[in-house]
Amino acid sequence: MPDGLLSKYEDTCHGPEKWQKVVIFLRQSLEGPLLDFIKKQIDLIGAEKSSLALKCRSIEDKIELLNKQLDASEKYKSEYLNRYQDSIKDKEKLSDDYMGRINNLQKKYSSLEEKSSNLSKTLDTARQECTDWKRKYELVLSKQKAEEDQFGAEVAVLRSKSSAAEARLAADQEKAQSAHEEAEEWKRKYDIAVRETKNALEKAAAIQERTNNQTQSREAALREEFSCALAEKEEEMKEKTKRIEEAEQCLTTLCLELKAAESKLKNYDLETSRLKLETRELGEKEGGANETALSAQSKARSAKQLKKEAKRTMDLADEVRAEAASAQKDKSDFQRVAMERLAQIERAERHAETLERQRADIVNEVERHRAAERDALFKVETLEDRIREKEQEIDSLLQSNNSQRKTTVQVLETLLESECAAHTEANNRAEALSVQLQATQGKLDEVSQELTALRFGEKSTMDGRPRTASRAKRGRTDDYEMGADSVQDTGTNDKVSRGKKRTKNTNSPVKFGSPEDGGSVFRGGEPTSSQKINQDDYTRFTVQKLRHELTSHNFGAELLQLRNPNKKDIVALYERLCSQQNIATVCQE
């Protein structure tokens, strides 16, 4: 535009007023729209500078917030790892407690098995004793039948052996009574053992239910804690992803703004280059104006005739010089403004470079945040996999423990059923023995009635024949010593009535030696060798022997109350419960 105006001015301006028009043109061109444009550009550059500074401050604030969030996330991560390690330690403690309880239950089960074996042994011994008593009873019946056959043939032999039959009858009665008492005692012991086993099974079932409830409650609490922690982590991860997306959006906006600033800087560079060209052109024009002024002075000197015009030209030259000086000042001001603009542009470039570096740093930090987030997600996945594996292990352990409990319960139920069956069988046998004893008692009553009838007949014959009675009495005493083996005669007077002697023989407890048939004889006051316990050597017993002794003396419940007992505990229990006097009283009973 200035080139066109200059060409137009050169075409239109002629004559002496040309310099005035030049001065007016230069003044209008310098004070016109060019100065306003430069001021506007300076204002625009200042506004952009302030906006860029505000954006830089906002970016720095966002970076500080991101750093704080990163520190918070790392702290939460460390806290979560500590909680996970604590939960693993709690789980290990629970597993150790559970294994200890399982070992205790297994030991209790072994003690119950030992007790059941001892009870089975006692049942076998009771059965053997019952068979022995039955065999002895059959022998006694056969002998009684033989005596009855001989009684019809020989009255004298029957008289001599009647007392022996009475003595044997009393011994058999006493043996049957003792057998019945022993059967009742074994039945009572068996009932006590069954009650103890039932109590032990009920305790084991209660302990098992308690352990099941505790493990289920602990598992539910752990699962709830893990689910809450995982939900919180998922929410935090969602918030972090949202924040990262917002940071990415801010980065994209910053990149766009940087590109716009770069384009503006390029435009400013173009404008500054154009202004430099314009200043050069103005300098050339000023040089031309100076040359024209010199030519005008030469013309003034040559045309001395026209003083007025020379004065005017001098005035015009002074004005032109003043205008040239002002133009020079304006030029220097313009150059100064241009230099300031160049300095601002350089500062803006340096600021752009710093912003670019900050953008690169922000991008690197965002990449580090993403890498940290990926690592955190990977760690969370690994922790979830470990949690799933631990849950699977817990489920498998629970299933195995439940199966073991089911098997133990089934085994105990089978043992209870077998014990109940043995108990019912023993009861049936005891009832059968009681029925047989009642039948034999009836037969023995009949035999005693026959003997009393025979004795009444013998008494009547003895009143008629005293000599034959004395001889029969002598033969009877000899036969009594041979057959009954030292039967005690309480009365020595021959005048004592035989009715009194008969009642005394049938009712008084008499000690017998070995009978003629070789059977066993019951002695009420003598203890058996199986019931004697040498307490001086109980410290040499093994653990199994001590357990057997305690269970045989009905101290199984006190033995089961001990948890994981060693030999010292069992010996102390044996000393406390089975002292010498207590064992003697138990053996005598």
| Residue 254: band (very low, low, confident or very high) from pLDDT cuts 50, 70, 90 | low
pLDDT at 80 over 50: yes
Mean local confidence (pLDDT), 423-443:
77
Give residue 524's pLDDT.
Answer: 39
Give the residue from 101, 255, 200, 42 showing the smallest Cα distance to 551. 200
At which residue do the structure tokens 């005394």 appear? 504
Q: Is 396 exposed, middle or buried (0-12, 13-18, 19+ CB in 10 A)?
A: exposed
More confident residue, 546 or 65: 65
- Given this model, what pLDDT does residue 133 score? 80
State residue 344's pLDDT score: 74
Instruction: Report the residue count for the chain.
Output: 589
- Interval 128-173: pLDDT, tens: 887 888 788 788 888 877 777 766 666 666 666 666 667 777 776 7
Residue 549 predicted with pLDDT over 70: yes
Half-sphere CA count of 351, side-chain side, radius 13 A: 20
Is 578 within the bounds of a domain?
Answer: yes
- 316 inside domain: no
Helix (H), strand (E) at residue 15: none
Name the nearest CA neighbour of 97 among 217, 222, 215, 213: 215
Q: Tell whether 579 is covered by a domain.
A: yes
Judge whether residue 519 has pLDDT over 60: no
Is 15 within the bounds of a domain?
A: yes
Is residue 394 over pLDDT 50?
yes
- By C-alpha distance, which of 104, 224, 126 is closest to 180? 126
Q: What are phi and psi of 524, to 5 degrees?
A: -70, -30
Q: 261: pLDDT confidence band, cut at 50, 70 and 90? A: low
Q: How many domains does the chain have?
A: 2
State which residues form the domain around 555.
535-589
| pLDDT grade for 509, boundaries at 50, 70 and 90 | very low
For 115-129, what is each residue's pLDDT tens digit? Answer: 878 887 887 887 788
Q: Is the pLDDT of residue 515 over 50?
A: no
Which pLDDT belongs to residue 508?
A: 39
The reply to whether 235 falls in a domain is no
Q: What distance in Å separates the CA atoms of residue 477 and residue 219, rounded to the nearest whole number?
A: 89
What is residue 32's predicted lDDT score, i.e. its pLDDT? 64
Least trusted range by pLDDT, from 38-52, 324-338, 508-522: 508-522
Is residue 2, in this structure, part of any structural domain at all?
yes
Residue 60: strand, helix, or coil = helix
Query: In the prediction, which pLDDT does 531 show?
Result: 39
What's at 182, amino acid-wise?
A: E
Q: Give the model confidence (pLDDT) of 309-348 as tens digits.
A: 656 656 665 676 676 667 667 667 766 776 776 777 777 7
Least confident of 309-313, 459-463, 565-569, 585-589: 585-589
Buried b (16+ CB within 10 A) or exposed e, 434-473: eeebeebeeebeebeeebeeebeebeeebeeeeeebeebe
What secondary structure, in 3-state letters, does 397-458 show?
HHHHHHHHHHHHHHHHHHHHHHHHHHHHHHHHHHHHHHHHHHHHHHHHHHHHHHHHHHHHHH
Q: Give the pTM.
A: 0.22
pLDDT digits (tens, 9 = 90+) for 181-214: 776 777 777 678 677 767 767 776 777 777 777 7
What span, in angstroms and rounded, lies between the C-alpha atoms of 452 and 285? Answer: 182
Residue tagged 């003997």 (tokens): 451
- What average pLDDT does the segment 107-111 reach? 82
Query: ∠504-506-510 over CA atoms, to 5°?
Result: 80
Which segment of 194-198, 305-309, 428-432, 569-573 scores lowest on mean pLDDT? Answer: 305-309
Q: Report yes or no on 374 lying in a domain.
A: no
pLDDT at residue 4, as a whole number: 64
Q: Of 274, 275, 273, 286, which Cα lies nearest the Cα of 6?
A: 286
Number of separate helices (H) and strands (E) present in the chain: 11, 0
Q: What is the share, in percent, of the chain residues with pLDDT greater than 70?
A: 60
More confidently predicted of 453 and 237? 453
Mean per-residue pLDDT over the chain, rounded: 70
Element housing 525 (H / E): none
Q: How far apart are CA 35 and CA 41, in angstroms?
A: 10
Of the listed ranges 15-19, 58-62, 516-520, 544-548, the one predicted with least confidence: 516-520
pLDDT band of 497, cuts 50, 70, 90: very low
Q: Name the residue with higher pLDDT: 498 or 3.
A: 3
Q: Tell me if 55 is assigned to some domain.
A: no
pLDDT at 583: 47
pLDDT: which is higher, 164 or 415: 415
Q: How many CB atoms lie within 10 A of CB 320?
A: 22
> What's the pLDDT at 270?
76
Write b or e for each residue in 322-344: b if 16 or more Cβ atoms lie within 10 A of its Cβ, otherwise e: ebbeebeebbeebeebeeebeee
Q: Decide if pLDDT at 287 tops 70.
A: no
